[in-house]
């Protein structure tokens, strides 16, 4: 192996080789998978037991993540459209929502919505956790969607209007379909961030991956071993999804449309 | 006014608000006070003109002369500051008018084509009839195919805009506007973004349109097109009509000194 990476003088970041066998991603991903296979075999006593205890939690983490991102997408679309609305009140409400939510830590929001909701209606813990996550991530998605809409050239709306489209129909048939392509990769990144942040709901009696791990550890006092496995599982999940997002980006940049 | 008038523009003016940011030394406080100065820019200054049914009018003039702004006011992509514009019997400048009806009657072609990049050529053409007029999809597609044939792109119906050359894109854009069965077509510098070799294929389509008796309002410097199709050429400068007449009289014998100076540059 060469002692330095050959780059031209103009390159700030070494170029990515097309088939890099030892890419950082591969080291992390297959390293984590390797450890998850190797550890239980090498020392089945705590590790195999831990791994068998966790699947429920993984499922719950998935559930929270998927439902949260779906609900957040709905909220984000509404708020994102509100942010570019020409109706002043709608615009203000959407902007205040985004500013307020982005200014409060997610953990505080989760507690707050959980207890606030608990006073009004009786809903399962997992539902209030999902709502809290969605309300928070909706604000971030709203900004992504707003930026996506605004990145569509002005001529597109003009062409649609000149053909007799109403603004609403132009949005629906011309602007938003183009926005989806632009925003898909950043939305994928938010999905990954949400997957990680979903560990916060473990404080709300939702048996997600982290909470299952802590339940196991508090019984066996094998904190170090348990959290190692929990961290590795999170790592595999997020790296897997970032691979998908990367593929998505690659396809979109290759796409002629 | 004759009954044959398609577009009537009366005393149209358009003033844009322009914001200029300037830093000013503040004497009392050390440091700079940034403030934004609002000024007015008159793009169109009292233009009156009429386009008859079936007439082809070409507007020429230097950049910033207000010709594109005037064109964009006809289908209200810009709002006039004062004055009135009529298309048929619809007053475009009346806030109560159903502007979408006006826009269905007035087709527009842009300098930068503005095709919808996410759908193929056929869908680009058929989308508006389906969404705006509620046409049946099958019929709209058939009509779109006919239009593609008419602009010489019958084999390109499945191509996406990015796969087409500039000239091909502009021809699809013309077909897209024609799909709404407009009575009037507006062309905003349709060939300015094209390579010289592609200009002809677009002008040929425009010429055939003119032959069929389409009312056309064209902002362009294409003199060949003007001589072949235009009945009238209007020279605008600084928001006003300086001179108008037949292509022959404007291009060969301009009366005003300003027109002569301009033509010297584009000839």
pLDDT digits (tens, 9 = 90+) for B59-86: 999 988 999 999 999 999 999 999 999 9
Q: What is the pTM of this model?
A: 0.82
Question: Which residues in B lie closer than 8 A to residue A151 (C-beta atoms)?
Answer: none
DSSP classification of residue B193: T
Mean pLDDT, residues A36-42 taken together: 88
Confidence tier at A252 by pLDDT (50, 70, 90): confident
B:184-203 residues touching chain A, CB 8 A cutoff: none
A159, A164, A257: residue with CB nearest B132? A164
Say if strands B215-219 and B82-87 run parallel, antiparallel, or are unpaired.
unpaired
Regions of chain B where pLDDT drops below 70: 1-3, 22-34, 267
Q: What is the separation, in whole angstroms, between the first and last Cα of chain B?
A: 35
Instruction: List, in sequence order, every residue forming a beta bridge with B12; answer none if it has no partner.
Output: B47
B:122-151 residues touching chain A, CB 8 A cutoff: 127-128, 131-133
Cα angle vertex A90, ends A85, A91, to 5°?
55
Answer left, alpha or beta for residue B61, where phi above 0 means left and psi between -120 and 50 means alpha: left
pLDDT for A124 equals 84
Which of B46, B49, B51, B50 lies closest to B83, judged by CA? B46
pLDDT for A87 equals 92
Tokens 């709203």, residue located: A142
Answer left, alpha or beta for residue B124, where phi above 0 means left and psi between -120 and 50 means alpha: alpha
Q: How far is CA B12 from the centre of its chain?
A: 16
pLDDT for A21 equals 67
Which sign does the torsion angle of CA B26, B30, B35, B39 carry? Answer: positive
Q: How far is CA A175 from the centre of its chain?
A: 24
**Are A159 and B103 a contacting pair at CB < 8 A?**
no
Mean pLDDT, residues A175-202 taken together: 91
In the structure encoding, which two tokens stand for residue B103, read together?
């826009």
Question: What does the alpha-carbon distance between residue A16 and residue A19 come to, in Å, rounded to a whole number?
Answer: 8
Say if strands B240-245 and B184-188 run parallel, antiparallel, or are unpaired.
unpaired
Which of A175, A167, A164 lies closest to B132, judged by CA? A164
Question: What does the alpha-carbon distance between residue B117 and residue A194 come to, in Å, rounded to a whole number?
Answer: 32
Instruction: Work out the mean pLDDT of chain A and round it to a whole number.
Output: 88
Confidence tier at A249 by pLDDT (50, 70, 90): confident
Confidence tier at A15 by pLDDT (50, 70, 90): low
In the structure encoding, which two tokens stand for residue B75, read together?
């289908």
**Are A159 and B117 a contacting pair at CB < 8 A?**
no
Which sign does the torsion angle of CA B148, B151, B153, B156 carry? Answer: negative
| Residue B110 contacts A where some CB pair is shorter than 8 Å | yes
In the structure encoding, which two tokens stand for residue A27, read together?
């080291």
Say if strands B232-237 and B240-245 run parallel, antiparallel, or are unpaired.
antiparallel
What are the DSSP calls for A68-105, one per residue?
A: HHHHHHHHHHHHHHHHT-SSHHHHHHHHHHHHHHHTS-
What residue of B is the nearest CA neighbor of A175? B116
pLDDT for A1 equals 46
Question: What does the alpha-carbon distance between residue B144 and residue B153 come to, in Å, rounded to a whole number?
Answer: 11
B:7-66 residues touching chain A, CB 8 A cutoff: none
pLDDT for B1 equals 47
Q: How far is CA A30 from the centre of its chain?
A: 22
Convert the pLDDT of each residue in B210-254 to its tens digit: 999 999 999 998 888 988 899 899 999 999 999 999 999 999 989
B131, B162, B177: residue with CB nearest A173? B131
The H or E element spanning position A142 is helix A125-151
To the nearest whole angstrom, how far is the Cα of A146 from the nearest Cα of chain B? 19
The CATH code for residues A24-39+47-256 is 1.10.3720.10
ipTM of predicted complex: 0.90
More confident residue, A204 or B150: B150
Question: What does the alpha-carbon distance between residue A240 and residue A246 come to, in Å, rounded to a whole number?
Answer: 10
Tokens 């299952």, residue located: A212
Selected for mutation to probe chain A from B69, B115, B116, B135 (highest A CB count within 10 Å) is B116
Convert the pLDDT of each residue in A211-246 to its tens digit: 899 888 889 898 998 999 999 999 999 999 999 888
pLDDT for A19 equals 63
pLDDT for B3 equals 65
Convert the pLDDT of each residue in A44-96 to its tens digit: 888 888 888 888 889 999 999 999 999 999 999 999 999 999 899 999 999 99
pLDDT for B31 equals 53
To the nearest whole angstrom, how far is the Cα of B178 from the nearest Cα of chain A? 10
Q: What is the largest CA-CA distance in chain B?
A: 73
Neighbour count for residue B223 (Cβ, 10 Å): 18
In A, what residues contact B, Cβ < 8 A?
Answer: 153, 155-156, 158-166, 169, 173-174, 177-178, 181, 256-257
Length of chain A equals 257
A160, A165, A178: residue with CB nearest B118? A178
Confidence tier at A178 by pLDDT (50, 70, 90): very high
Question: Which residues in A lie closer than 8 A to residue B180 (C-beta atoms)?
Answer: 163-164
Question: Which residues in B lie closer than 8 A to residue A168 (C-beta atoms)?
Answer: none
pLDDT for A45 equals 82
B77, B116, B133: residue with CB nearest A174? B116
Question: Which residues in B lie closer than 8 A to residue A169 (C-beta atoms)?
Answer: 131-132
């Amino acid at each position: 192996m060469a002692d330095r990476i050959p780059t031209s003088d103009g390159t700030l970041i070494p170029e990515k080789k097309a088939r890099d066998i030892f890419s950082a991603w591969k080291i992390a991903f297959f390293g984590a998978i390797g450890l998850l296979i190797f550890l239980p075999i090498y020392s089945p006593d705590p590790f195999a037991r831990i791994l068998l205890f966790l699947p429920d939690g993984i499922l719950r983490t998935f559930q929270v993540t998927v439902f949260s991102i779906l609900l957040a997408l709905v909220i984000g679309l509404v708020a994102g459209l509100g942010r570019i609305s020409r109706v002043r009140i709608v615009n203000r409400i959407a902007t205040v929502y985004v500013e307020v939510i982005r200014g409060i830590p997610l953990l505080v929001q989760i507690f707050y919505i959980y207890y606030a909701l608990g006073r009004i209606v009786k809903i399962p813990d997992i539902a209030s956790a999902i709502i809290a996550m969605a309300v928070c991530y909706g604000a971030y998605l709203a900004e992504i969607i707003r930026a996506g809409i605004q990145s569509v050239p002005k001529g597109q709306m003009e062409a649609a209007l000149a053909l007799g489209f109403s603004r609403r129909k132009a949005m629906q048939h011309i602007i938003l379909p183009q926005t989806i392509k632009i925003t898909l990769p950043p939305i994928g990144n938010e999905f990954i961030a949400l997957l990680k942040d979903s560990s916060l709901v473990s404080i709300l009696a939702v048996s997600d991956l982290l909470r299952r791990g802590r339940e196991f550890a508090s019984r066996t006092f094998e904190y170090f071993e348990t959290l190692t496995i929990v961290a590795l599982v999170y790592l595999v999940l997020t790296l897997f999804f970032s691979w998908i997002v990367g593929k998505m980006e690659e396809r979109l940049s290759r796409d002629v449309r | 006014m004759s009954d044959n008038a398609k577009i009537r523009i009366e005393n149209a003016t358009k003033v844009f608000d322009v914001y200029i940011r300037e830093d000013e030394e503040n004497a009392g406080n050390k440091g700079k006070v940034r403030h934004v100065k609002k000024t007015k820019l008159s793009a169109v200054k009292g233009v009156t003109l009429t386009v008859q049914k079936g007439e082809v009018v070409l507007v020429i003039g230097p950049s910033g002369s207000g010709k594109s702004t005037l064109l964009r006011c006809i289908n209200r992509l810009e709002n006039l500051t004062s004055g009135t514009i009529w298309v048929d019997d619809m007053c475009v400048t009346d806030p109560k008018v159903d502007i979408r009806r006006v826009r269905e009657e007035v087709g527009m072609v842009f300098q930068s084509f503005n095709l919808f990049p996410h759908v193929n050529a056929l869908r680009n053409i058929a989308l508006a009839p389906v969404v705006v007029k509620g046409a049946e999809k099958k019929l709209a597609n058939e009509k779109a195919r006919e239009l593609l044939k008419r602009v010489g792109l019958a084999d390109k119906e499945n191509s996406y805009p990015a796969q087409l050359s500039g000239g091909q894109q502009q021809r699809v854009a013309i077909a897209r506007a024609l799909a709404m069965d407009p009575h009037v077509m507006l062309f905003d510098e349709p060939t300015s973004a094209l390579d010289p070799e592609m200009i002809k294929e677009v002008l040929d389509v425009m010429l055939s349109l003119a032959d069929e008796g389409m009312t056309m309002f064209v902002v362009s410097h294409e003199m060949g097109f003007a001589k072949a199709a235009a009945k009238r050429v209007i020279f605008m400068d600084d928001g006003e009509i300086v001179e108008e007449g037949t292509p022959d009289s404007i291009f060969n014998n301009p009366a005003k000194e300003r027109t002569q100076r301009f033509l010297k540059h584009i000839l």
